[in-house]
Chains A and B, each alone.
Chain A
Amino acid sequence: MKEILEILIVWPFFVFFVSLFLPKNNERLISGFVFVTMAIHLFSLTAFVVYWATKGLPAINLMEFFVYKGHNLHFFIDFYFDGITAVYAITGAMLAFLVATYSRIYLHRESGYKRFFNTKMLFYAGYTLTVFSGNLETLFVGWEILGLTSFLLVAFYRDRYLPVKNAYKVFSIYRIGDVGIILAIWASHHLWHENITFAKLQDASLVSHHLEGNTMFGLFISMMLLLAASAKSAQFPFSSWLPRAMEGPTPSSAIFYGSLSVHLGLFLLIRTMPFWEHQMAARIMIGGVGVMTAFIGASIGRVQSSVKSQIAYGSVAQIGLMFVELALGFQTFAIFHFVGNAFLRTYQLLVSPSVVSYMIREQFYHFIPSPVLKQYSKVDKLRNTYYMLSLREFDMDVLLDRFVWRPFKNLGNLLRFINIRNVYFITIPTFALAVFIQLVSYRMPVFVREVLPEIFALIGLFLVFRAYAGRRDVFVVWTLLIMNHFWIVLAISFNDALTVYEILFHLSGVVIAGTLGYFVLHYVTSREKGVDLNGFQGHVYEYPKAASLFLLACLGVAGFPITTTFVGEDILFSHIEYDDVFLAFLLASGFVISGIALIRMYARIFLGPHVKSYHSVAKKSA
């Protein structure tokens, strides 16, 4: 069974890699290949589940291989298969197969036909990896792939303004969720002193044993998981990204945001349920988020006058209910709910264009004019307020902007004095000084030594903020984002356990990706005048290859699971002490914001309406 499982997990990745090499213009070959390989996957998965069921539904844990073995950290890939995985995997395989079949003809002649199927396959691979994952680290790999592919599919129409803007928005919110996972992984290391698998979590006595005396720490992990789940599943206060993700071709919206992607937050909670189900506070929080979202989602959904946003909020509200069901302990019920909701919303989105002719015909025979009031009554004052708040989506975006994004930008703007002329003169000597301080720090008083990591991490973080707020020079931003990693390493280096090998392991990925990015930027800026980050410039129109390379570079620097930096991040985190939540938080924020800043860079330089007006581009509002 082990081998079959492995093949089932690897298969989508294999399909994705092969699909990259298919000829761009051969629609029949591309879609035929995807159709057949997806059908095989669906069929063999179903066969496997049937076989597995005859064996009495045993939970299977597959310890795959060590990616990295340090003295206090083992980073290994682990898979787990049980009923939950089975339901998620089969639902996913069915929907992905059906939507792939649907898209074969639907996307006919669309430019980006191949890109669509590539991205969809990568998405599906990430989905499979996530639902088969056996520990948080493995899940995180899949999770990151989902974040990236979501960005790419929302921005499928990359030459228009809104898709790119919204893709960036979706990515940013996903990234907030990532803080949750990174910190949950970090805290878990300390709680379990190992890379805990979901299989072990099933052991209730083991869990309660570890949580004993660590109640707050346990709650912290649960809260971080909830944060990650809420962002991914568009729960309060993150709901507004979901309707805005409906920018790609309808089938991609249907499968990603209608069904699969949006239910993965729920999956994370189901997976980790053995961990948090005995923490009453956690259950109350999860239920609370669910109730809040159900109420707000349903309210907003009621006033939506566009069909896709209506479906999106309808779905958000139901997922809120699933959170509630889960918090109440009805796990099976929530899973059942997920499947029904996934199919319903997918189908609703797919038939959404029909709503015009259907409803107009309905109205033709059963029309009731909406009431026109002479004036508002006293009650209407409340009602109007509620209506307007729902229409404004309870200002969730304003809240996020005011309390999350804006402060980051403002902090970054404090460092605006750093520019292309002085960036190297400021950052490199400062860093050298910091290294010197680090080297002599053993002579310093303990209290100084204790705050130095935080100070260095803070400096790194500020540089990231500066990069995040950067508008003018692309090289400054790029340099700052790379420097951030060095500052982080420096901050961690106060922990004696950090080895040179580990430092190199982490930084090698950054340096390679950083160099690649530098050359791409150089290539583009030497050919184009005025490349900055002030707005979207759409250079992918003329430089599609450079754009792809730059995206790779950004992903590398951001610690996407393509370089050693991804594992490096985990290693660094494992060196943050148990009681140093603040440092962990600083580092996690640094990773997250730098990821956003990197994607922002990519989006602003290469995506959006082309700055050159020698060909027609759609209006910004279109």
Chain B
Amino acid sequence: MHFHNSLFREDNVLHHIKHYLPAQAALKDFIHHNTLHAFQDRKFFDALSEASTIFGYKTSLSLEEYRNLYAEGKIDVGILHQTITDHKGESQADEWLEKMLRQSFTENFAGRIGYFRSHWKSLYSIDPDLDIHPFLFRFLCSYLDQGISIWRFPVIEGGFLTTIREMEKNMMVSFFKSKRAKNLLYEKSVAIEDLLKILVGDETLYEHYLFDQQFSHPGWSGIVSAVEDMPKTLLDTRKISLKDLVFFELLLEIDLMDHKFGENWMPLGLKMDKKVRPLFGNIQKSEYFEILRLWQLSFEWTYYDQVLGGIIANQKEVKKPESPRFQGLFCIDDREGSLRRNIEALEPSSETFGTPGFFGVAFHYKPMNGKFTMKVCPAPVNPPYLIKEVVDGKKSEKDFHFSDYTHSLFFGWLITHTIGFWSAIRLFINIFIPRLSPATTLSFRHMDRFSKLSIERHHDHDTEDGLMVGFTIDEMTDRVESLLKSIGLVDRFAPLVYVVGHGASSVNNTHYAGYDCGACSGRPGSVNARVISYMANHPSVRENLKSRGITIPASTLFVGALHDTTRDEIEFFDDQFADTNKTAYHEYNKKIFNEALTLNAKERARRFVTIDHKQPLAGLHADVKRRSVSLFEPRPELNHATNTLCIVGRRSLTEDVFLDRRAFMNSYDFRVDPDGTFLFAILSAAAPVCGGINLEYYFSRVDNDKLGAGTKLPHNVMGLFGVANGIDGDLRPGLPNQMVEVHDPLRLLMIVEHYEEVILRMIQKSESLFEWFQNEWVLLVAVHPETKQISRFKDGIFVPYHPTFVPKQVQDTKTLFENERDNLPVFLIQKQNTHVQ
């Protein structure tokens, strides 16, 4: 309406709000990310105190929790003293120690957010949220709904606000109870600022008010913002923007006030007699946060020190088998580490490698008869390639319990009288003999193992959905080369090289996508494993690879596979060999895999209190599998819980160090990559992916109420894109309590085996990568490849670090797993039999 010189810049303010809102997309695209991503330009601990002061988040464990950990010995005395001395100096150490252990503080998680807007209640005895939220949420959910409602929202092209305008015109009821709001809606030139003028009055408080308002329902605002930025996250796309939402909500607020007080009431900002403290800025460093920082550092370094001590102790040079029986490529994922260890222990002449689970082939995948494509590579990548499933044997089973008919009057009547009784039997079966059903998400369903894939592109015009179908020989060669070089597998190829992707299976799990492979955008990695194997087996590719220094013998065959991390099962692809020798080899290897999987299931089972983890292996494995199909099991697996480490180096660096499934492991051989080219690629992917996972677990764990999704037991599915408690609640982004309760909130420690100067050069190559380490959201340690000298990255430089921890040697891991349910310390595994040469 007017363009005077105003303080309020709508676009800037909305952008600012969007920056702080939760950035979680629809459930089907669950991708882990740093919950406090908006604070990432600040130092980690500064961010913690700021986020807590402004938004009232609990950003670390509580003082009491730390003190308990200390009392239980989970924070080491020596490390604690060291941390205090390092930060406060010898002279003040005692004083700080006393404060940490005994001084009482009033903790406060009220935050500044919402204070200003709460004055509606104190000054006008009106709580706008009480009236507006239920309708607003239901309306938004109906607009965005992806297929729950039978009668779909009558959407008008042009977006959310246009639809509201048109509806208001074409409806015999109204959104509003008063006149002014209705007129403001029709008036096209009305801007947010005009509405704020009515509601708030004081220009300096406009932004503050909008923050308060949107953060009274961060979940809904977050999904609106996410849909605005990534419309594809909804299959049934909807046009909406945060601006639309803010506009509509302000109108509803004006309407509410007008309805109660007529059109003459004083705007909130002018009615305030107290001065409102600005949301941002002026955050003083307090002793309380300083103490939390010291505690957190001590907690972290208690564990880091163990790990680094373990690496030092693992001095013996492990000889690699000259002619390995088989090699396995696994995902970097923390859940794969123990499987690899078990395989290596069962077959010492095998070798395993870790690499992000999309195996360097980024593309979109379209299953047979699929109407959409899905991205199966890290989220930030947008590859122009498409892999199609051309023949498949998948059958889709139906379950009438999800059918719309049950809710209609007549069919519902028929159904309750007939199949309603079938539900009783189904219920009985599901409770006493849980088994696979159409409701189960099964990782092996992602791609039919007998299907064919269109991997090779012969003509440039092979396109679909604007994507190129398949890869050319040159493109394949590039990918295979990068993959093999980045993990250091360039010679001594075994007759069979398994490329094992991973996925998860569960039922009654709204967060199922968060259980699959993070490097495949929350999907199983089976297609990628198969595609890279096809490429590496291609004769022309191998021919090309020779000129690039990699000679894969003709006798070597790559075989794709999928590991189901919930069920601990494996499925191999294209494993019908013409050569009977190969078949025999493969059969033997399969046995090793299966045995290792059972052992892995046992190792995992120690965390599952509800199953008997001391029973014989076969029964135990069956129990573990049953979790993935049990409707009543809220923890089919524990996913990334306890993740703390990311190791980039040769297997020999940590081969005998027991890391208790807490480490992401990326194989990397500095000798193949002296100048760090591949290291840069690895770190660029690992820092945001592993760091994102780690920080999401961290924040969901420390403040499950505000930064996590709370307990999942009362969750209700909203529009297929989110969950809320009950039917009137805000969306709950973040991780549910059941996923994070056993997680120790420690930051990710990245351990890289290379020369300091190379690492330093590589992390400085990209500003966004450097930020992770410089601001200490992810910690970095370098291990000198020859001397094993350890140094930690701090304020731009590497400083030597001498771990104090000396790990115990342990021979029998079995009894250890049976006797301890909690996190295990680092120790060295003493192998019973020596390596086969």
Contact = CB atoms under 8 A, between A and B. Distances in A.
A61 interface: no
Contact of B423 (A107, A249, A302, A346): A346
A292 to B, nearest CB: 13
Interface residues on A, range: 35 or more
B508 interface: yes
Given A246-B716, A613-B109, A374 B155 contact: no
Interface stretch (A159-167, A264-272, A443-451): A159-167
Nearest to B150: A302
Contact of A361 (B396, B418, B610): B396
A391 B137 CA distance: 11
A380 B154 CA distance: 9
Q: Which of B149, B438, B703 is the most central at the interface, judged by chain A CB atoms within 10 Å of its CB? A: B149
A527 interface: no
B577 interface: no
B726 A162 contact: yes
Contacts of B554: none
B9 interface: no
A615 interface: yes
B153 A370 contact: yes
Interface in A352-403: 352-367, 369-376, 380-385, 387-392
Contacts of B717: 306-308, 352-353, 355-356
A347 B426 contact: yes
Contacts of B706: 616, 618-619
Interface string B709-726: 011111111111000111
Nearest to A102: B632
A498 B339 CA distance: 81
Interface string B725-736: 111111010000
Given A247-B714, A613-B108, A308 B727 contact: yes
B156 A375 contact: yes
A621 interface: yes
A359 B441 CA distance: 11
A305 B234 CA distance: 15
Interface string B511-553: 0100000000000000000000000000000000000000000
Interface in A588-614: 613-614
Contacts of B632: 102-106, 251, 350
Interface in A63-92: none
Given A303-B142, A621-B216, A355 B402 contact: yes
A321 interface: yes
Contacts of B720: 355-356, 359-360
B170 A384 contact: yes
B727 A388 contact: no
Interface in A98-149: 98, 101-110
B614 interface: no
Contacts of A94: 424
Contacts of B370: 364-365
Given A317-B409, A619-B216, A364 B171 contact: no
Given A314-B412, A351-B508, A615-B62, A373 B155 contact: yes
B154 A318 contact: no
A309 B718 CA distance: 10
Given A365-B396, A384-B171, A385-B172, A344 B633 contact: no
A58 interface: no
A286 to B, nearest CB: 17
Given A318-B412, A321-B413, A391-B142, A248 B431 contact: no
B371 interface: yes
Given A353-B715, A358-B399, A376-B154, A305 B149 contact: yes
Interface in A312-343: 313-314, 317-318, 321, 336-337, 339-343
Interface in B683-710: 703, 705-706, 710
B167 interface: yes
A91 to B, nearest CB: 9
A340 B414 CA distance: 10
A311 B634 CA distance: 21
A250 interface: yes
A360 B235 contact: yes
A250 B714 contact: yes
B581 interface: no
B416 interface: yes
Given A344-B406, A347-B423, A367-B235, A305 B634 contact: no
A253 B715 CA distance: 11
A374 B409 CA distance: 31
A362 to B, nearest CB: 7
Contacts of B56: 613, 616
B621 interface: no
A376 B509 contact: no
Given A314-B406, A363-B235, A616-B706, A308 B716 contact: yes
A249 B710 CA distance: 12
B148 A304 contact: yes
A613 B110 contact: yes
Residue from A318, A339, A346 with most neighbouring chain B CB atoms (10 Å): A318
A253 B726 CA distance: 10
B427 A339 contact: no
B27 interface: yes
Contacts of A244: 726-728
A253 B725 CA distance: 12
Interface string B401-422: 1100011110011011111110
B729 to A, nearest CB: 6
Nearest to B509: A353
Contact of B427 (A313, A347, A352): A347
Nearest to A254: B427
A294 interface: yes
B157 A372 contact: yes
A302 B396 contact: no
A384 B154 contact: yes
A369 B236 contact: yes
Contacts of A362: 396
Nearest to B712: A353
B408 A298 contact: yes
A479 interface: no
A3 B556 CA distance: 79
A75 B727 CA distance: 42
B148 A619 contact: no
A303 B107 CA distance: 44
A374 B155 CA distance: 9
B637 to A, nearest CB: 14
A618 B705 contact: yes
A521 B440 CA distance: 51
A391 B372 contact: no
A391 B57 CA distance: 34
Contact of A341 (B367, B402, B416, B710): B416
B588 interface: no
Contacts of A313: 407
Contacts of A308: 716-717, 726-727
Contacts of B110: 613
Contacts of B807: none
Given A302-B149, A337-B417, 13 more contacts: A162-B725, A340-B423, A341-B416, A343-B420, A348-B406, A351-B399, A354-B402, A356-B28, A367-B372, A370-B155, A385-B171, A614-B107, A615-B109
Interchain residue pairs A-B with the least CB separation, the first 5: A340-B420, A314-B407, A354-B439, A305-B145, A249-B713
Interface of A: 94, 98, 101-110, 156-157, 160, 162-163, 166, 243-244, 246-251, 253, 294-295, 298, 301-311, 313-314, 317-318, 321, 336-337, 339-344, 346-348, 350-367, 369-376, 380-385, 387-392, 613-622
28 contacts: A98-B431, A101-B431, A106-B634, A106-B713, A108-B635, A244-B727, A295-B409, A305-B719, A310-B407, A317-B412, A347-B423, A347-B427, A353-B508, A354-B507, A355-B148, A360-B235, A360-B720, A367-B235, A367-B371, A373-B154, A381-B170, A381-B172, A383-B154, A387-B154, A388-B171, A389-B173, A622-B725, A622-B729
